[in-house]
Structure 1
Amino acid sequence: MEIGDIVRLRKPFRARSKDSKEYTFGIVAALIWGEGEEPKQTTSSTPIEILVYLYDPETATTYTDEAGMQAVFIFRSDEIEFD
């Protein structure tokens, strides 16, 4: 998994509780590794947290908040499906 990859969220996610739109995809914005861990390009190395932009593949758009800013959301690696 690399920055810019599209990933599937294991559970649909709402950016705000009052929003009706649910997202099931995200675009990787950053990878957070555990303390003392070095990012590795192996399948056995997994980041502890993944920052994503919520993504709608039907419209090819990312979620923006009320101010029009592209919001970033944090997920644990077990909340995301990736190859």
Structure 2
Amino acid sequence: MSQVTIYLEDDALAAAKEAAARAHMSLSKWFAQFAEAERRKPKKSWDEFFAEVDKRPELWADFPLTEEMNKDLPPDTPREAW
């Protein structure tokens, strides 16, 4: 079994200790539950990620498009034929 050191704000540590006491378990075991729950979560695909982003246009609505960002740049140099 491995050991991990984490740094928490005092109030977060106090809340974690209280929650562990309510659950009748050690603080270490209480934190280990979060790691185990995270391990068991199904992994998301990129398609799922972008589908979630599409549902929240306010996150990206003001992000400039490539055409907008490059409008003041000179045209690209044509590629050489091989």
Task: Tell me whether the two structures share a fold, i.e. TM-score over 0.5.
Answer: no
Based on CA coordinates, which of the two structures has the bigger radius of gyration? 2
**Higher relative contact order (Cα pairs below 8 Å, separated by 6+ residues):** 1
More strand per residue: 1 or 2? 1
TM-score (structure 1 length as normaliser): 0.18
Structure with the largest fraction of helix: 2
Q: TM-score, normalization: structure 2? A: 0.18
